[in-house]
Amino acid sequence: MRTPPPDPQVQAAQARARLDAVRGVRRWVRLARVVLTVGVLLLGAYAWLSYRLYTLPGTADPQARTAQAPVEGVLPGDTLLLQNLNLWREPKLGDLVIYTNPEPRDGAPESLLGRVAGLPGERLERQGPTMAVGGREPLGVGFDLGDGARIRHGDVIPEGCYLILADFDSLPYIDSRNVGYISRGAISRRIVLNISAWQGRRSDTP
């Protein structure tokens, strides 16, 4: 029995269907490339706007017996990854932040490093030589008891301001105890990662 010859119209329709399928795949591939390119550009722009590297001035002394930087886990010469807080995120309790010194006189640095120890609206209560903030455990540093103290028993941290302190009393350093509560606008960045410590390349490493 002879097989009837293929219908030219059917063949043409099948060819058009295959061509349309190929074109559809190509359109999706082009669209995926555009979406991927835009995503990479947006991610790059976000990283460029949000993050920067910063090296803490100085060189750590491996023989030192006292604190060499105002906060724990950071040493002079460390390279830090910073996040821009003015764009995406509000400071949180415990954040290590870089902020503008509100009273940069007598050779004091314009930018300071400290830890957020109190949030807007929290109350400070005297606990011996230190303070407890927001009902939490007393802080690990001492406070001035004199009449000219910038931070006082019974204070409520003003709206839009933060209590920012050094972690140690053994290293003379400026913080809220010297200059008062720090306004939100003065807090520019927080430390996301200590790259030198993470990579084991700290300046105090032999």
**Which pLDDT band holds residue 1 (cuts at 50, 70, 90)?**
low
Q: 3-state class of 163 per DSSP?
A: strand
Average pLDDT, the chain: 85
Percent of the chain whose predicted confidence (pLDDT) is above 90? 41
Q: What is the pLDDT at residue 126?
A: 94
**Which pLDDT band holds residue 179 (cuts at 50, 70, 90)?**
very high
Question: Each residue of 80-96: pLDDT tens digit?
Answer: 999 888 666 899 999 99
Which residue's entry shows tokens 């906060």? 71
Contact 115, 95 (CB under 8 A): yes
Whole-number Å distance between alpha carbons of 120 and 133: 11
Whole-number Å distance between alpha carbons of 38 and 162: 38
Question: Strand (E) positions, 156-195?
Answer: 161-165, 182-183, 187-194
Q: Is the pLDDT of residue 201 over 70?
A: no
Helix (H) or strand (E) holding 39: helix 8-50
**Which pLDDT band holds residue 204 (cuts at 50, 70, 90)?**
very low
Q: What is the pLDDT at residue 26?
A: 83
0.85 exceeded by pTM? no
Q: What is the pLDDT at residue 45?
A: 73
Higher pLDDT, 33 or 17: 33
Q: Is the pLDDT of residue 205 over 50?
A: no
Q: Is the pLDDT of residue 66 over 90?
A: no
Query: Is 151 exposed, middle or buried (CB count within 10 Å of its CB: 0-12, 13-18, 19+)?
Result: buried
Q: Is the pLDDT of residue 120 over 90?
A: yes
**Which pLDDT band holds residue 25 (cuts at 50, 70, 90)?**
confident
Contact 131, 117 (CB under 8 A): no
